[in-house]
Amino acid sequence: MIINQWYVAAESAEVTAAAPRKVRLLGLDFTLFRDPAGRVHCLSDVCVHRGASLGEGRIERGCVECPYHGWWFDGEGQVRRIPSLPPDTPIPKRARVDAYPVVERYGWVWVFLGDLPEAERPPLPDFPEYEDRANWRCIRGDWHWRANYARVVENGLDFAHAPFVHPSFGDRERAEIHDFEVEADAWSARAKVTYIPPLPRGVWKWLRRERTPVQAQPSFHLSGATMRLDVWLTPSWRMVIFDVNTPVDEVTTHTRWIMARNFFRHPLFDGDARRRTLKIFRQDTAIVEKICPEIVPLDLTEEFSVKSDALMNAFRQRRRELVERGWAIDVETLRHHLDGRRALVIPSPARRAAGGRNFVLKTVPLLPPRAPSPEPLRTAAA
């Protein structure tokens, strides 16, 4: 699991000014809450006093009140009130927890889990169809996997599995993937592929009457561990599936999805679109939850790739670069030596700006940075 990335922590509607909301991300707990001005804040969940869970507390005057001794934490993580001290006692600077940058977009709360200053943080992925209500109809939902999030993202980028796992999407007799180019930038990559799906059934049979090729473009963006699939069912009838994949812990993933379509925009068709989307998740889950090993190997020679895996490999390459920068949590050390014995947090931008001074809790162990590997990922020639 990697720090210094954006992750989706909740649906916007789930975070209110009425009560804090506790969420688990990258194996650690966080507290989300909305202040009276409507802004969402994200704090490390462990109270710096005696370790109580802030997410179990309440909201008082725009602060989270710890459930144990009633200290008030503001949106920056600073303590504003210590009820057991006389009211005019200055609050010590060290009475604070880490607070993380938050952005609300596409109806989700995105949290930046890391300490990079604003200018160095990656952008969020674009999703213009979501904003274009005149031409697009969106439905949304979520899905839980007992699987590592990188395996889940890779599954979304892997079109070679469609004919075997999703019979309505692909034809096992025509499973060949024609050559495609991977177009990549610093944070994302995409590829256009053509396939010939079986004729649709049910209401969607009006979409295509002949077995004409369909164009699809799977893509990923590191922010949110986003997987996006564009499908051109006809030159003008388009569908977009936009998934953000949040690592709850190493082997648990919470996917939130939005499916946008520019045809059959009447809400009457929502139920059918939802059923089709959930069926795809169910079919994928049966495979992905049983992949061995659960974690994508860091040593990429431990699995064998072919040419049609190129987009997945672009994702692996980008993730490897983040590991090389020293941003991967050292899960082994965490699990075997520190779990339950020490409260650990992900460093926040304010902690970095202060040079670590005035923060009591220790930060999670990270794998040491390593020299960038000059080798591109090895793939077999097709």
Which residues in this chain contact ligand FES in the complex, by CB under 6 A?
47, 49-50, 52, 66, 68-69, 71
Query: Which residues contact Fe ion (rule: CB under 5 A)?
Result: 284
User: 161-173 burial string, b = 16+ CB within 10 Å, else e?
Assistant: bbbebeebbbeee
**Closer CB to Fe ion, residue 243 or residue 284?**
284
Residue whose Cβ sits closest to Fe ion: 284
CA angle 22, 28, 30 (to 5 degrees): 30
Tell me which residue of 351, 296, 334, 346 sits closest to 149, measured CA to CA.
296
What is the distance between the alpha carbons of residues 71 and 49, in angstroms, rounded to a whole number? Answer: 9
Smallest distance from Fe ion to CB 284, Å: 4
* Both structure tokens of 274: 């939802």
Smallest distance from ligand FES to CB 51, Å: 6
CB atoms within 10 A of CB 219: 24
Smallest distance from ligand FES to CB 88, Å: 19
**Closer CB to ligand FES, residue 52 or residue 207?**
52
287 binds, among ligand FES, Fe ion, none (CB under 5 to 8 A by kind): none
284 binds, among Fe ion, ligand FES, none (CB under 5 to 8 A by kind): Fe ion
**How would you class 377 by CB atoms within 10 Å of its CB: exposed for 0-12, middle for 13-18, buried for 19 or more?**
middle
**Closer CB to Fe ion, residue 79 or residue 312?**
312
Smallest distance from ligand FES to CB 78, Å: 14
52 binds, among Fe ion, ligand FES, none (CB under 5 to 8 A by kind): ligand FES
Residue 53: DSSP 8-state: B
Answer for the pair 33, 44: CB distance below 8 angstroms, yes or no. no
**Closer CB to Fe ion, residue 124 or residue 193?**
193
Tell me which residue of 88, 117, 85, 83 sits closest to 101, measured CA to CA.
117
CA angle 312, 147, 194 (to 5 degrees): 30
207 binds, among ligand FES, Fe ion, none (CB under 5 to 8 A by kind): none
Smallest distance from Fe ion to CB 306, Å: 18
* DSSP-based three-state secondary structure for 101: coil
Residue at token pair 């009475």 = 95
Smallest distance from ligand FES to CB 232, Å: 54
49 binds, among ligand FES, Fe ion, none (CB under 5 to 8 A by kind): ligand FES
CB atoms within 10 A of CB 213: 12
**CA distance readout (Å), 300 to 143, 144, 225, 317:** 28, 26, 19, 9
**Closer CB to ligand FES, residue 99 or residue 191?**
99
Phi-psi region of 38 (alpha: psi -120 to 50; beta: other; left: phi over 0): left
66 binds, among ligand FES, Fe ion, none (CB under 5 to 8 A by kind): ligand FES
Answer for the pair 220, 226: CB distance below 8 angstroms, yes or no. yes
**Closer CB to ligand FES, residue 50 or residue 279?**
50
**Closer CB to ligand FES, residue 73 or residue 143?**
73
**Closer CB to Fe ion, residue 4 or residue 226?**
226
112 binds, among ligand FES, Fe ion, none (CB under 5 to 8 A by kind): none
Smallest distance from Fe ion to CB 151, Å: 12
68 binds, among ligand FES, Fe ion, none (CB under 5 to 8 A by kind): ligand FES
Residue at token pair 């004729």 = 199
Smallest distance from ligand FES to CB 83, Å: 9
